[in-house]
Amino acid sequence: MLSVVARPLGLGASCCRGSRRAIATVISGNKASKLVRERLKEEVEKMKVQFCGFRPSLVVLQVGDRDDSNLYISTKLKAAAEVLHSIMSVNENQTVHGLIVQLPLDTVNHINSELVTNAVSPEKDVDGLSCINAGKLSRGDLNDCFIPCTPNGCLELIRQTGVSVAGKHAVVIGRSKIVGAPMHDLLLWNHATVTTCHSKTPDLPEQVGRADILVVGAGRAEMVRGGWVKEGAVVIDCGINYVPDETRASGKRVVGDVHYASANQRAGFITPVPGGVGPMTVAMLMENTVQSAQRFLLRSQSHG
Ligand code: GUN
């Protein structure tokens, strides 16, 4: 049984209590990520001073389906070879400490994304998507791998609530390689009992109702209804969905995978969309890149 004390978070989360029903404390990813970025700035500054101007470096490889690119890439094989070649060259570049390949690969020529993510050197795989890093995470080697950024950010936001993960029942909705599957592993090795639900789970509302900690990465707008949520639960929403909204100049607005207006009547803590998990994902990518650069420095020191 999870007991949640309704109190404001140190990170300036807003806590509004209505006269009849409790409203969840909002976990601000904007504020939490700002603190992470400030801490990293200091660490990078220290490295710079200690190692003669050394700077952590990240490469983001984007595979685009643009006409001008297609002009040069005529066959599937050529396209894949080109991507792999770029990855190899970044792998070998000693001034780069992190490499991510933006997914999904945006190309008319099908390229096996497994092949691409596994071509990234595990030592630079700050996305944590290679089999090596995913395997270490699944076995609980948390200090010897890169943890994918979104789950890592979610865990950080859960920590901000002060609710401990150990011994809790956590439910994850979604089993993607980027969010759901690593989130399961991360919660498990932080000693929660974890249930992972997916599109074939027959009794989703019942499963959600058992969650002390609920992490949703389903990719379906407002799928989780407030009535399903356990009273006092920590609700982390990884969803980014655009829905039509005639009241906006753009004609659309962004919502999460959780129906926020009803879920915040039952949850103890909840992340907003936008301003929740999104900014933490970016902060964790920076964190992994700095960690990779620190490991690189340690290796170069021990080699000579
Ligand atoms: N596309 C959406 N999220 C991600 C992510 O975390 N990493 C990569 N490489 N691509 C993404």
Peptide bond into 205 cis (omega under 30): no
Residue from 59, 60, 61, 103 to probe ligand 1 pocket by mutation (most atoms less than 8 Å from CB): 103
Which residues constitute the domain of residue 118? 53-139
Q: Which of 139, 174, 189 is the last residue of a domain?
A: 139
**Using only C-alpha atoms, what is the Rg of the chain?**
21
Residue 8 clears pLDDT 60, i.e. is over it:
no
Same domain, 125 and 192: no
Does 82 or 75 have the greater pLDDT score? Answer: 82
Query: Does 201 lie in the same domain as 97?
Result: no
> Has residue 300 been placed in a domain?
no
> CA-to-CA distance for 240 and 204, rounded, in angstroms?
20
User: Per residue in 126-165, pLDDT tens?
Assistant: 999 999 999 999 999 999 999 999 999 999 999 999 999 9
Q: Distance from the CA of 102 to the center of ligand 1, in angstroms?
A: 5
Q: Looking at residue 81, what is its pLDDT?
A: 87
Q: What is the pLDDT of residues 216-270, one digit of tens each?
A: 999 999 999 999 999 999 999 999 999 999 999 999 999 999 999 999 999 999 9
CA of 5 to the centre of ligand 1 (A): 34
Which has more pLDDT, 301 or 303? 301
Task: Output the residue whose Cα is nearest ligand 1's atom 3.
Answer: 103
Domain membership flag for residue 121: yes
Do residue 62 and residue 180 come from a single domain? no
Q: What distance in Å separates the CA atoms of residue 292 and residue 125, rounded to the nearest whole number? A: 9
Output the domain CATH number for residue 85. 3.40.50.10860
**Residue 27 belongs to a domain:** no
Identify the CATH number of the domain in which residue 179 sits: 3.40.50.720
With pLDDT > 70 as the criterion, what percentage of the chain qualifies? 88
Q: Which atom of ligand 1 is nearest to the CA of 150?
A: 6
Catalytic positions, please? 76
Buried b (16+ CB within 10 A) or exposed e, 277-287: bbbbbbbbbbb
* Ligand 1 atom showing the smallest separation from residue 60 Cα: 9
What is the atom index within ligand 1 of the atom nearest the CA of 127?
7
Q: Give CA–CA dist 1/152, Å, rounded.
A: 24
> Residues lining ligand 1, judged by CB closer than 6 Å?
100-103, 127, 149-150, 178
Instruction: Kindly state the average pLDDT of the residues 66-90.
Output: 72
Q: Using the mean position of ligand 1's atoms as its centre, give its distance from the Cα of residue 281 in Å.
A: 9
